């Protein structure tokens, strides 16, 4: 019976989520569940609240109603840094606000306490699979094109091994070939994906389910043509959902030998990762005071200077501005 309950607990559960901004209701009654490896596209007109939904799922903003559960546990139980590590937000564009190089960002992010003792993906393999030269990792962010920085930021997010990736138009700056690479890497990465897109072709190429906003209706997409998305790269092959621990990590690429790095164990409720990477990098962090109150909540973010708004929140206990 206990085993049955575990199997039935979704990876992520969203019940009747509500988002208001400036006294205006943007989203209401959004409900869905997500299982490991599932893809849920989000589509809706500009301004309908797609980014707000992703930010709420990542616990970067506080919803005005509803319930979020990761493996059956609410954010306060999981811990906000651990939640944001497991449920990782990849914003539409953030490279222009970043300083330094992608490699520096990747290594800085690993120093967050919530990122320690967790399995990693193979960043160079991911960079390669996304059609980038390795040297982009050591170039300044502001020297990269929009498409390059979008893909290298995605590679970093994938390499940090989230269980759920929240993707805000992850290929919007890419040409068609790069877009196909992004789709193939994401489709085979093993993480559950919540994927905002405006591209109807992307839905049919990738498949999965579709959440239509503003109504929140969910439709099942037809399966993609068999040949359209051959497995190119698999970073996280096995995830034991018992307590969120990851038991095995492997990297498989069509042109690379299989690399197994099994054995490392990370616990969502315990060690987990930063999630703070995104929160710390985003100057528009907002949310309840407890979400940002103190170093413990930030899980060691003191490694990286916090943006002014987040610092303001931490000092006076009030939340900063939204997106
Ligand atoms: N911090 C904020 N303060 C006030 N209004 C906001 C804030 N953030 C978002 N909004 C408003 O909430 C609505 C939803 O914004 P959101 O960015 O989620 O839209 P979206 O569906 O992602 O749009 P797009 O497809 O253009 O990216 C918009 O009307 C936007 O103006």
Each residue's pLDDT tens digit, 58-101: 999 999 999 999 999 999 999 999 999 999 999 887 666 788 99
Which of residues 263 and 140 earns the better pLDDT score?
Answer: 140
pLDDT at residue 273 in the model: 27
Residues 78, 56: Cα–Cα separation, whole Å: 15
192 in the same domain as 78 = yes
51 and 192 in a single domain? The answer is: yes
Between 241 and 210, whose confidence is greater? Answer: 210
Predicted TM-score (pTM) of this structure = 0.72
Ligand 1, atom 14, lies closest to the CA of: 49
CA distance 280 to 249: 27
Q: Is residue 251 part of a domain?
A: yes
- 108 pLDDT band, cuts 50/70/90, is confident
Judged against a pLDDT cut of 80, whether residue 248 lies above it is answered with: no
ipTM over 0.85: yes
User: Which of 161, 191, 220 is where one domain is finished?
Assistant: 220
Q: Which of 22, 25, 43, 50 has most ligand 1 atoms within 8 Å of CB, for mutation?
A: 50
CB 248 within 8 A of CB 260: yes
143 assigned to some structural domain: yes
Range of the domain at 203: 12-220
Cα–ligand 1 centroid distance for 50 (angstroms): 8
Residue 77 sits in a domain of what CATH number? 3.40.50.300
Which one has a higher pLDDT value, 112 or 314?
112
The ligand 1 atom at the shortest distance from the C-alpha of residue 49 is: 18
Mean pLDDT computed over 156-169? 95
* 319 within some domain: no
| pLDDT score for 228 | 53
The structural domain count of the chain equals 2
- Closest by Cα among 219, 153, 217, 154 to 187: 154
d(C-alpha 116, C-alpha 109), whole Å: 9
Average pLDDT of the chain to the nearest whole number: 73
Closest-CA residue, ligand 1 atom 2, reads: 322
75 and 161 belong to one structural domain: yes
Beta strands in 133-190 (DSSP E): 164-168
Calculate how far, in angstroms, residue 263's C-alpha sits from the geometric centre of ligand 1: 42
DSSP state of 62: -
Residue 181: the pLDDT is 95
Residue located nearest, by CA, to atom 29 of ligand 1? 47
Could you tell me if 115 and 262 lie in one domain? no
Residue of minimum CA distance from atom 26 in ligand 1: 46
Average pLDDT over residues 48-59: 96
Domain end point (choices 164, 196, 220): 220
Quote the ligand 1 centre to 239 CA distance (angstroms): 34
Q: Model confidence over 263-311: pLDDT tens digits?
A: 222 222 222 222 323 222 222 223 222 222 222 222 222 222 222 222 2
Say whether both 108 and 209 belong to one domain.
Answer: yes
Pocket of ligand 1 (CB under 6 A): 21-22, 26, 44, 46-52, 321-323
Smallest CA separation from ligand 1 atom 9, residue: 323
Which residue's C-alpha comes closest to atom 28 of ligand 1? 47
In a domain, 55, yes or no: yes
Residues 30 and 168 in one domain: yes
Distance 301 CA to ligand 1 centre (A): 27
Q: Helix and strand tally (H, E) in the chain?
A: 13, 12
Asked, for residue 1, whether it belongs to a domain, the answer is no
pLDDT of residue 224: 83
Residue 246 sits in the same domain as residue 269: yes
Residues 249 and 198 in one domain: no
Is 26 or 92 the better-scoring residue by pLDDT? 26
- Of 35-49, 224-238, 301-315, the range with the lowest mean pLDDT is 301-315
> What's residue 237's pLDDT?
32
pLDDT at residue 150 above 50?
yes
Domain-embedded: residue 42: yes
Ligand 1 pocket test, pick from 47, 58, 90 with the greatest ligand atom count within 8 Å of Cβ, gives: 47
215 and 251 inside one domain: no
In a domain, 4, yes or no: no
**Centroid of ligand 1 to alpha carbon of 269 (angstroms):** 31
The pLDDT of residue 202 is above 70: yes
pLDDT at residue 321 above 70?
A: no
Query: For residues 71 and 68, what is the distance between their CA atoms, to the nearest angstrom?
Result: 10
Ligand 1 pocket test: pick from 18, 19, 20, 21 the residue with the most ligand atoms within 8 Å of its Cβ: 21
Q: How many A from CA of 322 to the centre of ligand 1? A: 9
Together in a domain, 241 and 144: no
Instruction: Give distance in angstroms: CA of 21 to centre of ligand 1.
Output: 9
With cut-offs at 50, 70 and 90, classify the pLDDT of residue 209: very high
Question: Which stretch of DSSP H or E encloses residue 24?
Answer: strand 24-34
pLDDT average, residue stretch 149-178: 95
Q: Are residues 41 and 187 in the same domain?
A: yes
In a domain, 201, yes or no: yes
Of 193, 220, 247, which closes a domain? Answer: 220
**Which residue lies with its CA nearest to atom 16 of ligand 1?**
49
Examine the domain organization and report whether 200 and 304 are in the same domain.
Answer: no
Residue 135 is predicted with a pLDDT of 96
């Amino acid at each position: 019976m206990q085993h049955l309950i575990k199997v039935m607990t979704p990876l992520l559960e969203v019940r009747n989520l509500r988002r208001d901004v400036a006294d205006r209701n943007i989203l209401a009654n959004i409900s869905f569940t997500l299982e490991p490896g599932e893809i849920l596209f989000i589509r809706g007109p500009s301004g309908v609240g797609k980014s707000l939904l992703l930010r709420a799922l990542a616990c970067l903003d506080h919803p005005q109603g509803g319930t979020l559960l990761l493996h059956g546990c609410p954010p306060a139980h999981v811990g906000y840094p651990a939640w944001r590590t497991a449920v990782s937000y990849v914003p539409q564009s953030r490279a222009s606000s970043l300083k330094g190089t992608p490699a520096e960002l990747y290594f800085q992010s690993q120093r967050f306490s919530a990122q320690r003792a967790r399995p990693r993906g193979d960043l160079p393999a991911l960079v390669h699979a996304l059609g980038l030269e390795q040297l982009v990792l050591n170039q300044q962010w502001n020297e990269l094109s929009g498409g390059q920085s979008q893909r290298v930021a995605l590679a970093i997010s994938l390499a940090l091994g989230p269980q759920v990736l929240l993707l805000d138009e992850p290929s919007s700056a890419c040409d068609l070939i790069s877009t196909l690479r992004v789709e193939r890497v994401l489709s085979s990465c093993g993480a559950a994906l919540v994927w905002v897109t405006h591209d109807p072709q992307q839905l049919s190429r990738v498949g999965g389910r579709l959440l239509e906003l503003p109504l929140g209706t969910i439709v099942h997409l037809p399966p993609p043509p068999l040949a359209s998305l051959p497995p190119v790269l698999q970073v996280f092959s096995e995830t034991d959902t018992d307590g969120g621990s990851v038991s095995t990590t492997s990297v498989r690429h069509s042109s690379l030998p299989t690399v197994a790095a099994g054995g490392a164990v990370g616990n969502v409720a315990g060690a987990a990762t930063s999630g703070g990477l995104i929160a710390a990098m985003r100057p528009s962090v907002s949310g309840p005071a407890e979400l940002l109150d103190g170093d413990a909540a930030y899980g060691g973010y003191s490694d990286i200077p916090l943006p002014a708004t987040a610092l303001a929140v931490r000092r006076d206990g009030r939340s900063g501005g939204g997106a």
